[in-house]
Amino acid sequence: MTDLSVATNTTSPAFDVESIRRDFPILAQEINGKPLVYLDNGASAQKPVAVLDAMDRYYREMHSNVHRGAHTLGDRATTAFEGAREVVRHFLNAPSTKEVIWTRGTTEAINLVANGLAPRLKAGDEILVSHMEHHANIVPWQMVAERTGARVIPVQVTPEGELDLESFNSLLNERTRVLALTHVSNVLGTVNPIAPLIEQAKKQGVITLIDGAQAVPHFKPDVQALGCDFYVFSSHKLFGPTGIGVLYGRAELLEEMPPYQGGGEMIERVSFERTTWNVLPYKFEAGTPAIAEAVGLAAAINYLDSLDRKAMEAAENALLARANALVETVPGMEIIGTAKQKVPVMSFKIAGLHPSDIGTLLDQQGIAIRTGHHCAMPLMDFYGVPGTARASFAFYNTLEEVEKLFTGLQKIQRLFA
Amino acid sequence: MTASKEQFLENPLGTKTTLEDVLDAFEFLDDWEERYAYIVDLGKQLPAFPDEARIEENYVHGCQSQVWLIHHYDEDSGKLFLLIDSDAIIVRGLAAIILVALNGKTPRDLLATDIDELFEQLNLFRHISPTRGNGLRAMVGKIRDIAATEAV
């Protein structure tokens, strides 16, 4: 494909998007005879060569099972795998690698925590979520509530798409046991002011979980500065491989929680009389883990670290600003989610058009967006729409691509006129 | 069903607008814009759908948009008449094409119609995402189920 070295572009202080795009081979193709414009990064991001190469190299040179230790390949695989855990620890600024648990993704991480906190919950307890949560941060709590008699309570959202802080203040009370909030809304792009909310919750002894799935592709979270008990994200939205995600959890709570699944790796000693659990983080990692995927995720994080973060964020903000400026060129177009703090995610509707019409006809023009309810049906209900069209940008998108999106939308409107 | 017999019989799709009309038209459509403009126009021929029929029983699952489908089996002619509605414009057009091919046929004839071949002929699936293709298949599947029931 390309022989570009991925870790050597630190020499250029400017953010050269054309050079960066060459790191993502999938972007250089045509769809329906048009150059691909990939604006569905919120659903899953594309992978740089660094990730592809790291996984390829892992399988070619070092694959074996991990933590078995009897031979050299096993050592190599374990070193790569545990090295990846350290990369993630550093990325999150977690105090220790024993607090970094591999999961299949954000969804499994939340299920793990919900399940693990079940013994603490009883009838009358409240789990505070918000109206803008992804189903993955609603349904696992509903399931645990069903088992324990606790209740799931949503914090309201303002029409602009921000968390309603008055609602938060009125709902956080002595019955609240868990606060589970998204860092960034997958539909609205809103960056929630989670730090003060976590602080408020902690004062009342409430356990806090932050869904970072939509945040980490845009900025680095610092779990110590945030002070949350749990922080979860998926690799595939962070330019890494599918099938792996991360649960950061405070050791004290992880120690207390029961294992999520039983099997190999998670045990210390098994007998039919008594089985004891392995230490953290392995207690929560039953079975052979996704080793190559962990290596791939670490490569993605290292790749991102090689970029100029400030320049990257500025470039993303420029994409969103350009998109916002062009909204008025499409009559009847309305943005859903106009929070002051946003990542470059733009949900919208166009009067008279169903989101699926928009998605289909953009695809004809080589433009990939997401349409539908975005696994956030309560939020769709709140806005009274069956779904939205969503363009979600990544740092490898160009201003020209933003313009193509709007040219495409104008064309669709003419077609339906 | 809640719609009157007339509403079913007056559906132009499959009666006034025939499969030949659609196939002829498609031959002259070169690019996606013309093709979709034509599909959108076809969708405008869908007769009004009775509001009271928008119930779970008539809902077609598996589509990204909301799709409803009702039928009337005409004892006199032995033919099956269909009404479809959707809140998405392109889906309405695709439903119209399905109706052009399947509406107003005897259940036996309907079941003998190879709709996949038709879509192949119209080169439709190639331009339609798998997600939407699934929605089309869901619609056709529901119609075939109805025909199979009425054919007994």
| Closest-approach residue (CA) in chain A for B88 | A354
pLDDT at A7 over 50: no
pLDDT at B133 over 70: no
Q: So what's the pLDDT on residue B31?
A: 84
Q: How far is B34 from chain A (nearest CA, A)?
A: 9
Tens of pLDDT, residues A9-41: 444 456 899 999 999 999 999 998 999 999 999
Min mean pLDDT across A389-398, B47-56, B61-70 is at B61-70
Told to judge if B63 belongs to the known catalytic residues of this protein, a careful annotator would answer yes
Q: Are the C-beta atoms of residues A221 and A183 closer than 8 Å to each other?
A: yes
Enumerate residues 123 to 142 of chain B having a beta carbon within 8 A of any beta carbon in chain A. Answer: 127-129, 132
Domain that holds residue B41: 5-150
What type of residue sits at position B64?
A: Q
pLDDT at B124 over 90: no
CATH fold for domain A17-39+308-416: Aspartate Aminotransferase, domain 1 (3.90.1150)
| Start and end residues for every CATH 3.40.640.10 domain found in chain A | 51-305
CA pair distance B125, B135, nearest whole angstrom: 11
Tens of pLDDT, residues A314-358: 999 999 999 999 999 999 999 999 999 999 999 999 998 999 999
Q: So what's the pLDDT on residue B118?
A: 84
pLDDT at A6 over 50: no
CA pair distance A246, A110, nearest whole angstrom: 10
Choose between A158 and B152: higher pLDDT. Answer: A158
| Closest-approach residue (CA) in chain A for B65 | A356
Residue A361 to residue B36, Cβ atoms within 8 A: yes
| Closest-approach residue (CA) in chain A for B92 | A357
Q: In 3-state terms, chain B is what percent helix, strand and coil (to 5)?
A: 55, 15, 30
Q: Are the C-beta atoms of residues B44 and A417 closer than 8 Å to each other?
A: no
H/E stretch holding B144 reads helix B130-151
Domain count, chain B: 1
Tens of pLDDT, residues A77-130: 999 999 999 999 999 999 999 999 999 999 999 999 999 999 999 999 999 999
Q: So what's the pLDDT on residue A69?
A: 73
Q: How far is A357 from chain B (nearest CA, A)?
A: 6
Look-up of token digits 């809902």: B59
Q: Candidates 3.40.30.10, 3.40.640.10, 3.10.560.10, 3.40.50.720; correct CATH number of A51-305?
A: 3.40.640.10
pLDDT at A286 over 90: yes
Q: So what's the pLDDT on residue A5?
A: 37
Q: What is the pTM of this model?
A: 0.91
> How many whole angstroms from its chain centre is CA A244?
11
Q: So what's the pLDDT on residue A1?
A: 37
Closest-CA residue to A383 (of A336, A332, A334): A336
Q: So what's the pLDDT on residue A386?
A: 86
pLDDT band at B129 (very low <50, low <70, confident <90, very high): low
| Start and end residues for every CATH 3.90.1150.10 domain found in chain A | 17-39+308-416
- Residue numbers in A near B86 (CB within 8 A): 354
Tens of pLDDT, residues A152-209: 999 999 999 999 999 999 999 999 999 999 999 999 999 999 999 999 999 999 999 9
Q: So what's the pLDDT on residue A14?
A: 64
pLDDT at B130 over 90: no
Test the B interface: residue of A350, A353, A377, A415 with most B CBs within 10 Å: A415
- Residue numbers in B near A411 (CB within 8 A): 33
Average pLDDT over residues A245-256: 98
Which of B46, B60, B63, B136 is catalytic? The answer is: B63
CA pair distance A302, A284, nearest whole angstrom: 25
Residue A354 to residue B87, Cβ atoms within 8 A: yes
Using CA atoms of A46, A48, A51, A57 in order, give the dihedral in degrees to the nearest 10.
130
Q: So what's the pLDDT on residue B131?
A: 62
Tens of pLDDT, residues A290-318: 999 999 999 999 999 999 999 999 999 99
Which of A128, A180, A299, A375 is catalytic? The answer is: A375
Choose between B22 and A184: higher pLDDT. Answer: A184
Residues 6+ apart with CB under 8 A from B11: B46, B47, B81, B82, B83, B99, B103, B104
**A388-392 and A370-372 as β-strands: parallel, antiparallel, unpaired?**
antiparallel
- Residue numbers in B near A416 (CB within 8 A): 40, 89
Look-up of token digits 């870790």: A7
pLDDT at A254 over 90: yes
- Residue numbers in B near A371 (CB within 8 A): 64
CA pair distance A95, A223, nearest whole angstrom: 9
**CATH number for B49:** 3.90.1010.10
Choose between A1 and A346: higher pLDDT. Answer: A346
- Residue numbers in B near A361 (CB within 8 A): 36, 90
**Token code pair at residue A325:** 């400026």
